Chains A and B, each alone.
Chain A
Amino acid sequence: MNRQTIWHPIPEESNLHNQQDEFLNIPHGEIIALTCICKQTCTLWLDMSFIVAGVEFGARMITIDGKQIKLQIWDTAGQEAFRSITRSYYRGAAGALLVYDITRRETFNHLTTWLEDARQHSNSNMVIMLIGNKSDLESRREVKKEEGEAFAREHGLIFMETSAKTAANVEEAFINTAKEIYEKIQEGVFDINNEANGIKIGPQHSPTNPNLPSGSQGSMQGGGCC
Chain B
Amino acid sequence: MEYFKSGLKSVLGTPQEGSQPTGAETVERLVDRVHSSTLLDDRRDACRALKALSRKFRIEVGAQGMDALCQVLEMDRRDCEIVGYALDTLCNITAPESFEDEEHASLSPASVGSVGEQFTEIFIKQPDNVGLVLGFLEEYDFHVRWPAVKLLTSLLANKPKDIQEIILVSPMGVSKLMDLLGDSREVIRNDALLLLIQLTKGNANIQKIVAFENAFDRLFDVISEEGYSDGGIVVEDCLLLMLNLLRNNTSNQNFFKEGSYIQRLAPMFNLPAEGDDTGWSAQKVGNIHCMLKVVRTLVTPGNPAQVTLSSQKTMKACGLLETLCNILMASGVPADILTETINTVAEVIRGNQGNQEYFANVMAPSNPPRPAIVVLLMSMVNEKQPFVLRCSVLYCFQCFLFKNEIGQSQLVQTLLPSSADVANLTAGQLLCGGLFSGDPLSNWFSAVALSYGLVENPAQKEQLLRVLLATHIGSLPVSLLHQCTMLLQQGNSVQSKLGLLMLLSMWLSHCPLAVKQFLSIPTSIPYLTTQVSAGSNEHDENEELVQGMCAFLMGICVTFNDDTVTTFSKEKLRQLIEKRLGLETFLDKMGEVSRHELYSKAAKHPQLRPKQPSELLFDHEFCRLFKALEGMIIKAVTPKPQGDLVNGSSELSMSASENSLLLQYKDLIREQDHNLQELTQTINRLTMDKSTLEAQVEDMTSTISQLRDENMLLRAQANTSLGQVTDGSSVGHETFHMLEEAQAEAHRWKRESEHKDMLIHKLVPYWAKIKQKNLCFSWMVLDLHQVGSQTATVTGVGVMKIPHQLVKFPLRGCKCTNRTQNHSPCFLKKWIQTVTLN
Contact = CB atoms under 8 A, between A and B. Distances in A.
A48 to B, nearest CB: 8
Interface stretch (B50-58, B139-147, B258-266, B787-795): B258-266
By secondary structure, the B interface counts as helix
Given A56-B251, A226-B310, A85 B260 contact: no
Given A57-B254, A85-B168, A226 B212 contact: no
B263 A219 contact: no
A54 B205 CA distance: 7
Given A10-B260, A74-B212, A89-B212, A219 B221 contact: yes
A87 B171 contact: yes
Given A10-B259, A223-B318, A44 B204 contact: no
Contacts of A12: 260
Contacts of B263: 13, 221-224
Interface in A188-226: 195, 219, 221-226
Nearest to B265: A222
A13 B260 contact: yes
B318 to A, nearest CB: 4
A97 to B, nearest CB: 16
A57 B255 contact: yes
Contact of B267 (A44, A72, A91, A222): A222
Interface string A70-93: 101010000000001101110110
B257 interface: yes
Contact of B259 (A44, A54, A72): A72
Interface string B265-290: 01100000000000000000000000
B754 interface: no
B174 interface: yes
A70 B171 contact: no
Nearest to B319: A224
Given A92-B214, A224-B263, A224-B318, A85 B255 contact: no
Contact of B314 (A54, A88, A195, A224): A224
Contacts of A104: none
A7 to B, nearest CB: 11
A74 to B, nearest CB: 6
B221 A85 contact: no
A84 B170 CA distance: 7
B251 A57 contact: yes
A226 B208 contact: no
Given A88-B174, A222-B318, A54 B208 contact: yes
B169 interface: yes
A8 interface: yes
Nearest to A44: B254
Interface in A116-148: 121
A91 B254 contact: no
B486 to A, nearest CB: 51
B127 interface: no
Contacts of B667: none
Contacts of B319: 224
Nearest to B259: A10
Contacts of B459: none
A58 B220 contact: no
Interface in B194-253: 204-205, 208-209, 211-214, 217, 220-221, 250-252
A59 interface: yes
B258 A85 contact: no
Contact of B264 (A8, A56, A89, A221): A221
Given A195-B214, A219-B217, A226 B205 contact: no
B172 A121 contact: yes
A5 to B, nearest CB: 12
B208 A57 contact: yes
A34 interface: no
B209 A89 contact: yes
Contacts of B266: 222
Nearest to B211: A57
B327 to A, nearest CB: 18
A71 to B, nearest CB: 10
Contacts of A54: 204-205, 208
Nearest to A222: B263
A226 B263 CA distance: 9
Contact of A55 (B171, B208, B304, B313): B208
B168 A58 contact: no
A84 B251 contact: no
A198 to B, nearest CB: 10
A226 B317 contact: yes
B260 A11 contact: yes
Contacts of A10: 258-260
By secondary structure, the A interface counts as mixed
B175 interface: yes
A12 B258 CA distance: 9
Contacts of A154: none
Interface in A1-49: 6, 8, 10-13, 44, 47-48
Contacts of B258: 10, 57, 59, 70, 72, 226
B487 to A, nearest CB: 48
A39 B169 CA distance: 29
A11 B314 CA distance: 15
Given A57-B252, A219-B217, A226 B209 contact: no
A221 B260 contact: yes
Contacts of B211: 57
Contacts of A58: 254
Contact of A224 (B255, B267, B317): B317
B359 to A, nearest CB: 18
B205 A55 contact: yes
A12 B318 CA distance: 14
Contacts of A48: 250
A222 B260 contact: yes
Contacts of B209: 55, 85, 88-89
A12 B257 CA distance: 11
A57 B217 CA distance: 16
A88 B255 CA distance: 17
A224 B169 CA distance: 39
A85 B208 CA distance: 10
Nearest to A75: B251
Nearest to B204: A54
Contacts of B175: 88, 91
Contacts of A89: 209, 212
A11 B211 CA distance: 15
Contacts of B174: 88
Contacts of B304: 47
B260 A88 contact: no
A56 B220 CA distance: 23
Given A54-B205, A91-B172, A222 B255 contact: no
Interface string B310-344: 10011001110000000000000000000000000
Interface in B591-628: none
A222 B171 contact: no
B264 A222 contact: yes
B334 to A, nearest CB: 26
Given A70-B258, A219-B217, A225-B317, A92 B212 contact: yes
A225 B263 CA distance: 9
A221 B264 CA distance: 7
23 contacts: A6-B212, A11-B259, A47-B304, A54-B208, A55-B205, A57-B251, A59-B254, A59-B255, A59-B258, A72-B259, A87-B171, A87-B172, A88-B172, A88-B173, A88-B175, A88-B212, A219-B217, A222-B263, A223-B318, A224-B263, A224-B317, A225-B317, A226-B257
Given A57-B211, A72-B255, A88-B212, 8 more contacts: A10-B260, A11-B260, A55-B251, A57-B251, A87-B171, A221-B263, A224-B314, A224-B318
Q: Which 3 A-B pairs have the closest CB atoms?
A: A222-B263, A59-B258, A84-B169
Interface of A: 6, 8, 10-13, 44, 47-48, 54-59, 70, 72, 74, 84-85, 87-89, 91-92, 121, 195, 219, 221-226
